[in-house]
Chain A
Amino acid sequence: MWTIPKPNYRRGFCAEGEIAVNIGGVRVVLFGDVLNRYPESRLAELVNCSTQNHEVISSLCDDFDPSRKEFYFDRDPDAFKCIIDVYYFDEIHIKNGICPICFIKEMEFWKIDQSVLDECCKSYLSEKEDELTEISNKVKVILEDMEVDQCITRAQRCQRFLWRLMEKPGSSLAARVIAISSFLSILVSAVVMCMGTIPELQVMDSEGKLVEHPTFEGIETVCMLWFTAEYLLRLASSPNKLHFALSFMNVIDFMAIIPFYVVLSLTYLGTTSMMELGNVQQAVQALRIMRIARIFKLARHSSGLQTLTYALKRSLKELGLLLMYMSVGIFVFSALAYTMEQSHPETLFKSIPQSFWWAIITMTTVGYGDIYPKTTLGKCNAAVSFLCGVIAIALPIHPIINNFVVFYNKQKVLETAAKHEVELMELKSGREARRKSRD
């Protein structure tokens, strides 16, 4: 590939207004006026400075052969072949195979602005850069973990210790034990919440109403205390309180705890008859639903769930699309079904809003069978509606799945990359230290 000379890769001695450059062994003769199209670039500077001024020349290039009037640059010839295009076409395309980060470094050396890079390659570059920033974020986290305690005060050191204990399950055995027990308590509280609703396990209270079994309530209280303690410790140990309180995971934690205390205070208020009893009970009922939030606490312990939330967050647009397709389908098919079923005397479709339910169940291919069409036309409509439903769901789901899969795989790769980066940094710092000690 190197032996075939392009028109601009001429060999031989150069005439007036031309310069010969040797980039890492590849000799190129270039026209001065072409190079002057980008006067800030290194090559243009080289053309414009006089050949006598050796200091300037040596600052611009690595070597100069006066007999052949050849400037030598100790750079990558492959990348240069792409970069030289800017003088001819005003745009640069990264050659397939060259790492874009590496290419940008080369462009910086030749003093050519990044903006001349063509759009098609820019997206590629930004992709890589995003990846790099993600890696660097991870590296930062790892480095923070490894950082030796520089806190002077005792309180700070305590805070740091606590933070690690609560937030980094991998840092020590105690931290791991805490993480596991927290996970188990979530499970137990969720199970208890479900069991509490089984009528056989409930007990009558003084007013003849079914309430939860006292043992379940006891377990519930213990779990709640544990959650509260955990939340408070986390809050106390966090370096940035506001940031902590607003982060997604901690909001969920808070939501899981607060209903318990609200219910407690409301019943207290109800028993002390400061509020009407009926209102209190309604409020308590509503708050019981909020207990479900504790299941989301599991996300802290599962990277898969975090990936799911991330993927859903990233594909909000597609989710919106999915809902839109569905709602359009529901409207159309429920209206159609309603009108078609009107002819039947014992129709199950009493109104359009009522047939929405039928449309949802049909389009998602669930099909309970509580409402079903009876006329032929209605049946045909039902067949079309579930076909459309399958398509309407399948189409927008694909990008969501793609997001999920890509993110899931990337997560794995980034993990190793970050670890490697830390190793590399250690190696480099070690080398530097050695060099210093040698000097």
Chain B
Amino acid sequence: MEKSLAELNKAGSRSMSSLQPEPVDIMRSKTCFRRVRLNVGGLPHEVLWRTLDRLPRTRLGKLRDCNTHESLMEVCDDYNLEENEYFFDRHPGAFTSILNFYRTGKLHMMEEMCALSFSQELDYWGIDEIYLESCCQARYHQKKEQMNEELKREADNLKDRDGEEFDNTCCAEKRKKLWDLLEKPSSSVAAKILAIISILFIVLSTIALSLNTLPELQDTDEFGQSTDNPQLAHVEAVCIAWFTMEYLLRFLSSPNKWKFFKGPLNVIDLLAILPYYVTIFLTESNKSVLQFQNVRRVVQIFRIMRILRILKLARHSTGLQSLGFTLRRSYNELGLLILFLAMGIMIFSSLVFFAEKDEEDTKFKSIPASFWWATITMTTVGYGDIYPKTLLGKIVGGLCCIAGVLVIALPIPIIVNNFSEFYKEQKRQEKALKRREALDRAKRNGSIVSMNLKEAFARSAELMDVVVEKSERPHDNHLSPSRWKWTAKRATSETSSNRSFNAQELGSPSKARANSPQRLNVQKLEEMYNQMAKTQSQPNLNAKDRGTRVSKQRDEIELGAIQDHGPPVLGTREGVGDMKSLSSIDSYISCATDFQENTRFLQSPAMDLGLQEGNRLSHSPATAFSQRASARTGQQTTRECQPMLTPVSVTKPSYSDNARKFFFSGNSTKSLIPKGGCRSDGESGLSPLSDSSVLSDHSLLSPEVSIYTTASSRTPPKSPESTALAPTVFTFHDSSISKYIDADTDDDEHLRDISDASPSECLLAGNSPKRSININYQRGTNHLEAAQKMLGQNCLFPLEGIRGVAHENHVGHEMAHRPKVERGRQNTLDKSL
């Protein structure tokens, strides 16, 4: 035991099953070394304890004060007392500059570092960004503000998209279709055609408008005044009718009427239509009235307003839209441009006035009169209607030209910059939109978990607060509303996994008793070893027992399969519902890469039927238990048969529906993903096959169980039994997202470590070659070949004692988290009753 512990420590990983160091040991280690080794994401750093004490309230400063295992684990991700090394699973690049902050008191930022990720790192290490030195600070803030703005815009966009809900009134479905047809030209071919027709109408109406003013095409009315050509008037009427219809349809189908009315593009539309009606109204109502001339003038003004319809093209061109946006955003620079020009005009026109005013029949009669000359000269248009004649005037004119060129050229690059930035942004957003749609599709298929930027950001912002405040109130953090959501979700998923757990419990009641509740308690470590010893004595019996049961229940399932083919829909629904919540935890932990595997797995026919059977009868708890037991074993059998049955990945419609629902509801889960990226990479290496083989190996270590244990270790201390665990459990939520992943890592490590950790197993492994294969397999989990070999063995020797030992040990370990399991089951019972 001692030896294996030492080995473990050397390997740098700490197993849950190993002895947790006493506070005395930690204190001793801290006093005998002046320095400490910090391993951040694989890069070793060495630093004096003294240096870390300079900022006692930060994470590294707290490391010094932590004397218990729990508090240490709260601060760092892993540690090794003998090597005096503490491991943090963070980005190593940023840490260099952060450690330098401790050393020199100056916080600088690596140039290549992204400001946003640096700010996240700063939050993790508990350092306020205000300490950043001014030389790096400017860059940091600029980047951050830019990023925040972008995120805000994206969030707004999302909100807009979310806001388009047609649930309140009648024929929502039709209205949505209409809305898509009119507003989203890319949504369908019909919409595209409609957009093109609309563009054609705009172009046609503008051409008609211009042709109308040609004297050859104009008619004369009774007053001798020229009026519109009747043919062109018809064209105009048709165009206006089309525009009106379009506007009205848009208005009717819009989900939010007031927002629609306010939108700039719709205001333009309205302005393009209204003048026509106003003109008609005025001419009709004033036909008899005498002051026809006045009305005429008003009508003329409204005619001019018809030109606004050319702006309707903006709806169909992103370029025009971004031009408008740019002008809106760079009004500061535009103002500057106008100010420069105005000043130049003022100065040069007065100069030229004083230079030219004594000239014979000069055109520079006053300063306002020479404004025109100055404008035309500064913009280098130069009509030549006014030009200076004296020498002084010509010198002023020459200076005016050059100054004009300069003054106009200066602010324009800033505006251009704004425009190009916005344009780029627009294009990027379009791409992002497409990507998101693709992601949505993928999510529906259940293969990827989306990276929801907005939520990730909000999430991390919230977590930052938590990290900062953690030292003050570690227990209160779960009160934040979003976390309540989490717990709720966890609870539901718990119950669902409990159901499957029940089956196990029924299957081996002795085990449940042997592994009594609060074994995880640090003080009861010895007890644990006793238990482990106890469980070792039982394996053969249990294994045999199970073996027979398996074969029995296999028959049962076959029966059930035949019987239950009738009402499958409900059953699958429920089963899938289970899956959904299960996978919600799953994705929580390992970014749902195995989610797909699980689902696939569940799709294998026998399994499905088993679940159906189990779920169909779930309203009567007593029977449900037994049925579930069979379902459970059904799973087991399927898993064992898995290599023979190729994993079926036919997704049923009901399932995909549910899965999508999960993705909608599980937003908070999704937000965890970015940080867990590396983790999911690791997991994705597992093929579904190997996954299933793990399950068949540790018959109790089905994904549900392992997931469940992690989940339960995170449940809030609502029940009295778990109070002993509460503080540590909580810090898991609080400290940061990565902890969740850590929790998972630890459990995964069990899978591997269990074989090394328990001495009895090592002994046995020495005896049997199969076991050694088994261990091998566990180490390199995705070693498919080994897995298959082993599976073959499993099928051949279901009663093999060694295997029994293996999973008994494991069970001994996993049962540590039983208390909450039981509580969870009670919940389920209550519910079902």
Contacts and interface: CB of A to CB of B under 8 A. Distances in A.
Given A63-B35, A289-B351, A357-B394, A105 B104 contact: yes
A420 B384 contact: no
A102 B106 contact: yes
Nearest to A299: B343
Interface in A396-420: 397, 400-401, 404-405, 408, 413-414, 416-418, 420
Given A25-B46, A194-B366, A401-B413, A417 B134 contact: yes
A288 interface: yes
Interface in A60-77: 62-63, 72, 74-77
B231 interface: no
A364 B401 contact: yes
A368 B383 contact: yes
B679 to A, nearest CB: 23
Contact of A74 (B103, B368, B376, B397): B103
B265 interface: no
B660 interface: no
A158 B326 CA distance: 47
Contacts of B47: 24-25, 74
A360 B401 contact: yes
A414 B410 contact: no
Given A198-B368, A304-B339, A99 B135 contact: yes
Interface in B295-347: 335-336, 339-340, 343, 346-347
B34 to A, nearest CB: 6
Contact of A401 (B336, B353, B410): B410
Contact of A370 (B112, B367, B384): B384
Contact of A364 (B108, B405, B409): B405
A278 to B, nearest CB: 14
Interface in A191-214: 193-195, 197-199
A193 B133 contact: no
A72 B46 contact: yes
Contacts of B339: 298, 302, 304-305
Contact of B384 (A22, A367, A427): A367
Contact of A361 (B44, B48, B131, B401): B401
A33 interface: no
A57 interface: no
Given A198-B368, A368-B382, A393-B405, A72 B35 contact: yes
A97 B131 contact: no
A157 interface: no
A2 to B, nearest CB: 6
Given A101-B133, A308-B340, A360-B401, A199 B406 contact: no
Contacts, number: 203
B110 interface: yes
A388 interface: no
Given A25-B47, A102-B108, A368-B384, A401 B409 contact: yes
Interface in A341-362: 357, 360-361
A377 interface: no
Contacts of A97: 110-113
B135 A96 contact: no
B42 to A, nearest CB: 9
A135 interface: yes
A5 interface: no
A427 B347 CA distance: 49
Main secondary structure of the interface of B (DSSP, over half): helix
A339 to B, nearest CB: 21
Interface in B408-426: 409-411, 413-414, 417
A256 interface: no
Main secondary structure of the interface of A (DSSP, over half): helix
Interface stretch (B137-145, B175-183, B444-452, B750-758): B137-145
A144 to B, nearest CB: 18
B380 A197 contact: no
Contact of A135 (B103, B130, B134, B417): B134
A361 B383 CA distance: 11
Contact of A416 (B103, B138, B354, B366): B138
A366 interface: yes
A364 B402 contact: yes
B46 A413 contact: no
Nearest to B111: A97
A132 B110 contact: no
Contacts of A63: 34-35, 48
Interface in B107-154: 108-113, 130-138, 141-142
B398 interface: yes
Contacts of B397: 357, 360-361
A2 B384 CA distance: 72
Given A199-B365, A361-B382, A364-B380, A427 B133 contact: no
A295 B351 contact: no
B200 interface: no
A366 B108 contact: no
Nearest to A27: B46
B414 A369 contact: no
B328 to A, nearest CB: 18
B350 interface: yes
B344 to A, nearest CB: 10
A366 B380 CA distance: 4
A233 interface: no
Interface in A321-338: 322-323, 326
B571 to A, nearest CB: 56
Contacts of A404: 410-411, 413
A255 to B, nearest CB: 13
Contacts of A326: 402
Contacts of A295: 343, 346-347
A302 to B, nearest CB: 6
Interface in B31-63: 34-35, 37-38, 43-48, 51
A404 B417 CA distance: 13
A259 to B, nearest CB: 13
A70 to B, nearest CB: 10
A397 B409 contact: yes
Contacts of B467: none
B367 A194 contact: yes
A420 B137 contact: yes
A424 B376 CA distance: 52
Contacts of B99: 24, 76
B338 to A, nearest CB: 10
Given A197-B353, A292-B350, A420-B141, A96 B112 contact: yes
A198 to B, nearest CB: 4
Interface string B567-608: 000000000000000000000000000000000000000000
A140 interface: no
Contact of A62 (B48, B384, B405): B48
A294 to B, nearest CB: 10
A317 interface: no
A98 interface: yes
A357 B366 contact: no
Contacts of A149: none
Given A194-B368, A367-B384, A368-B384, 19 more contacts: A24-B45, A25-B45, A63-B48, A72-B48, A74-B48, A74-B103, A75-B103, A76-B104, A98-B111, A101-B108, A102-B133, A198-B367, A357-B394, A357-B398, A368-B387, A397-B405, A401-B413, A404-B413, A417-B141
Interface of A: 2, 22, 24-26, 62-63, 72, 74-78, 96-102, 105, 128, 131-132, 135, 190, 193-195, 197-199, 285, 288-289, 291-292, 295, 298, 302, 304-305, 308, 311, 322-323, 326, 357, 360-361, 364-370, 393, 397, 400-401, 404-405, 408, 413-414, 416-418, 420-421, 423-424, 427
14 contacts: A24-B47, A25-B37, A76-B99, A97-B111, A101-B133, A193-B367, A366-B376, A401-B409, A404-B411, A404-B413, A413-B142, A417-B137, A420-B130, A427-B130
Closest 7 CB pairs of A and B: A25-B46, A366-B382, A369-B384, A368-B384, A364-B401, A99-B108, A194-B367
